[in-house]
Amino acid sequence: MAQGSINELETHLILSERVGLCKEKETEIIISLLTEEIRMIISLTKKLKN
């Protein structure tokens, strides 16, 4: 569920950039942070399953 929310947020960021609400550099930084969050969520999920 959290991964889906992060993916949705990423989509909103890209759309915000396209309509001029967000600068490209800002979008890149935020998407980079979101990618790191996804990795942490996946790692936590794997550890909880074991």
Summarize pLDDT for 3-50 with one digit per residue, the tens: 888 889 999 999 999 999 999 999 999 999 999 999 999 999 999 998
Residue type, 29: I
Q: Is the pLDDT of residue 1 over 90?
A: no
pLDDT at 3: 80
Q: What does each C-alpha distance from 28 to 14, 20, 33, 46, 47 come to in angstroms?
A: 9, 14, 9, 27, 29
- Give the model's pLDDT for residue 50: 86
Residue-level pLDDT at 4: 84
The whole-model pTM stands at: 0.76
User: pLDDT at position 15, please?
Assistant: 96
Give the count of beta carbons closer than 10 Å to the beta carbon of residue 27: 17
Contact 38, 6 (CB under 8 A): yes
